[in-house]
Chain A
């Protein structure tokens, strides 16, 4: 036992992702020839430990939702490996995957589209039992009503239709459905981004409470850094199909290492005018995210990075642990030792620090 506690990662991970790749082929013409691929997820590796919450952040189109659908196996990975509780689930067929569906569940982004408008709440929340042929103690109806009260809804609303509920209530229904079979892992894809800010807090706190109560493990995908900060134990920052930084929450927010993470954090709105004045600088990234069909060579962020040098264009930086439990994929990280100190020639065309950093609003 002493051996285990000494090792840096004593707990067996619940989910282990290694070099996961998903390319969506682009087909053209009558013969449907493959002319290219959208490299939505391009080689990402991470672990999720039992009981923790992993937050995944990134801009729109960086592949975070695709990643969520790959680990729940709603999509077939192009390459890499996904292990759930030590079992390789990368290429399991729909039939082989079915028994595992009990343990891996998903909460969806849009509560207006994730509930079938023609079914009652009872049918929707009871569907997991029917589909998995599980007969819960006391019958499906009783279990559904218990689930409804668990997520803070009136159990008597069993026979109502989704259109009779507000967005926040609908999201609670979606959460109740995901929890019906007592899953080990819950993947939440932008669980609150479609909701009002006041309702977001309710739903986020509900997720938090349910985690304590039921011992759930979450992978929460979001683009809102405030939400991620509130719920996550560890955070992965994605950019163009890659993880650029993976760290515990505190170090990531206090000493971000990747320039992209720093830029993201500086863009979080500060709701207090006094504190806003106190904030020193704001990093404005110029241009759009490059196309995932033909991503930039080397470090994918070099086209928008103010620290980019020649090496950034030629060599892809590996995801290295530069501080305890803090990994980053950057040649010239902030708040850490420069990985390529010899390479100082600035990349032609890269924005200068003055261009991207504004000291006041």
Chain B
């Protein structure tokens, strides 16, 4: 009998908001849970900042080609005249920063770093978001089944999750990426590398979300509204999709947002190890590898992809934390 107390606490929190929002109006209108979450989210400055940065990043990634065309930024244009061949470093201070190349150029070929960061953003985000979607899809389906049906279904799924979590993921990713040949799945070159990365990362991250969904489903399944639905003659699929799913959306959304930065880092790590995105395609992890080879002559190079990853990961994490606080204030 703790439920009423908890819920009362939550509605007590919601109360002042209702008064604030309705103060100017003649009548206080009822608000949906989404509206209440949005009110809370707007008050969270860090989460709002994270959200704005994420929106900008997504826009940058989606519009990377038009941006490059408009500002005449070519990630693969070689500017050998800007590189000092003796030092293997860009000419000029701060890694060759200038009005033409605001973030400098890379030490080997003199390619514009701003253009390469923009080019790398869509690769990073595509792999991270794609892998997250794969994990969420597998994790939600198996997690809900394990949690709702219980019994042997739960045993099988839980052992499967243990197996995946015990798998040496990095070794597997390295060997798989190295052994996949052109023409696999009918893909070649960059699309194949991206598909392999999405598959490898997504396929091994699902147990984390699967466990969360399983636990949530198990606790929701015992709530009386599920029993009420059964007492009205509802079938399993109805209960799962109409009764349980609406309650699972919030935790899934939060966890997916927090999984994206992890996957960005993982993609960067794989590219850093040379089994991710292959050169000359720009990627943040690949740029870091490049910079690590030349840190003695051009330390500044390392900061450009490093900061890009840092800002992206931080923004997604702030957004995810903010979403969690806004959607479920009790989980703090």
Residue numbers of A with Cβ under 8 A of B are 72, 74, 94, 97-98, 101, 104-106, 108-119, 127-128, 131-132, 157, 159-161, 163-164, 167, 174, 177, 194
| Bound Cα distance A119, B225 (Å) | 11
Answer whether A116 and B4 are a contact pair too, CB < 8 Å, given A132-B232, A163-B11: no
Q: A113-B225, A164-B30 in contact; A101/B4 too (CB < 8 A)?
A: no
| Complex Cα gap A111–B8 (Å) | 12
A94 partner, pick from B30, B229, B235, beta carbons under 8 A: B235
Decide if B234 touches A112 in the complex (CB within 8 Å). no
Which residue of chain A lies nearest to B229 when distances are taken between CB atoms in the complex?
A: A127
**Bound complex: CA of A258 vs CA of B108, how far in Å?**
96
B206-233 CB mask vs A (1 if < 8 Å, else 0) is: 0000000000000000011101111111
Say whether B14 contacts A163, CB under 8 Å. yes
Chain B interface (Cβ < 8 Å from any Cβ of A): 1, 3-4, 7, 10-11, 14, 30, 32-33, 223-225, 227-235, 238, 243, 246-247, 249
Residues in B with CB closer than 8 Å to A161 are: 30, 32-33
Q: How close is B19's CB to chain A, nearest CB, in angstroms?
A: 13
* A219 to B75 alpha-carbon distance, docked (Å): 76
Who on chain B is nearest to A105 by CB?
Answer: B231
**Is the beta-carbon distance between A114 and B224 smaller than 8 angstroms?**
yes
B228 A194 Cβ-Cβ under 8 A? no
Cβ contact within 8 Å between A113 and B30: no
What would 29 A/B residue contacts be, using CB atoms closer than 8 Å? A74-B227, A74-B230, A94-B233, A97-B233, A98-B233, A104-B231, A105-B231, A106-B228, A106-B231, A109-B224, A110-B224, A112-B4, A112-B7, A113-B223, A113-B224, A113-B225, A114-B224, A115-B225, A116-B225, A117-B33, A118-B247, A119-B246, A131-B238, A132-B232, A157-B30, A161-B30, A161-B32, A163-B10, A194-B1
CB neighbours (8 Å) of A98 from chain B are 233
Interface of B is mostly: helix
Tell me which of B227, B229, B238, B249 has the highest count of chain A C-beta atoms within 10 A of its own C-beta: B227
Find A159's partner among B14, B30, B228 (CB 8 Å cutoff): B30
Q: Is the CB of B231 within 8 A of A72?
A: yes
Nearest chain B residue, comparing its CB with the CB of A100: B233
Our pick among B7, B33, B229, B232 for the contact of A118 (Cβ within 8 Å) is: B33
Given contacts A116-B243, A118-B247, contact A194 B33 (CB under 8 A): no
Separation of A317 and B109 alpha carbons in the complex (Å): 97
Known: A98-B233, A117-B247, A118-B246. A108 touches B227 (CB 8 A): yes
Contacts of B227 in A (CB 8 A): 74, 106, 108, 114
A66 to chain B minimum Cβ distance, whole angstroms, is 13
Interface centre among B228, B230, B243 (most CB of A within 10 A): B228
A106-B228, A174-B228, A177-B228 known; A163-B235 Cβ under 8 A: no
CB-based contact B1/A110 at 8 Å: yes
- The answer to whether B3 and A108 have CB atoms under 8 Å apart is no
Complex contact B233–A132 (CB within 8 A): yes
A118 — which chain B residues lie within 8 A by C-beta? Answer: 33, 246-247, 249
Residue in B32, B232, B238, B249 whose CB lies within 8 Å of A101: B232
Contact of B4 with A110 in the complex, beta carbons under 8 Å: yes
Q: Is the Cβ of B30 less than 8 Å from the Cβ of A114?
A: no
With a cutoff of 8 Å between Cβ atoms, the chain A residues found around residue B33 in the complex are 117-118, 161, 163
What's the minimum C-beta distance from B254 to chain A, rounded to whole angstroms? Answer: 15
A27 CA to B113 CA, complexed, in Å: 64
Report the Cα distance A163→B225, complex, angstroms: 14
Check B232 against A113 for contact (C-beta < 8 Å). no
Closest 5 CB pairs of A and B: A118-B246, A114-B224, A98-B233, A101-B233, A160-B30
B231 (CB) vs chain A CBs: closest residue? A106
Note all chain A residues with C-beta closer than 8 A to B231: 72, 74, 101, 104-106
Residues of A within 8 A of B11 (CB): 163
| Least Cβ–Cβ distance between B5 and chain A, in angstroms | 9
Which residue of chain A has its CB nearest to the CB of B152? A32
11 extra interface residue pairs, beta carbon distance < 8 Å, beyond A74-B230, A108-B228, A116-B225: A72-B231, A106-B231, A108-B227, A110-B1, A112-B3, A114-B224, A114-B227, A116-B247, A117-B33, A131-B232, A164-B30
Residue of A nearest to B232 (CB): A131
- Cα separation A357 to B162 with both chains bound (whole Å): 59
Residue ID in chain B nearest A128 by CB atoms: B232
Q: Which residues of B contact A119 (CB under 8 A)?
A: 246
Which residue of the partner chain B has the closest CB to A180? B232
Residues of A within 8 A of B7 (CB): 112, 163
* Interface hub of A104, A113, A132, A160 (most chain B Cβ within 10 A): A113
Chain A residue at minimal CB-CB distance from B6: A112
Bound-state CA distance A127–B231 (Å) is 11
Task: Report the Cα distance A173→B11, complex, angstroms.
Answer: 18
- Provide the residues of chain A in CB contact with B235, threshold 8 Å: 94
Residue from B1, B223, B232 within 8 A of A127 (CB atoms): B232
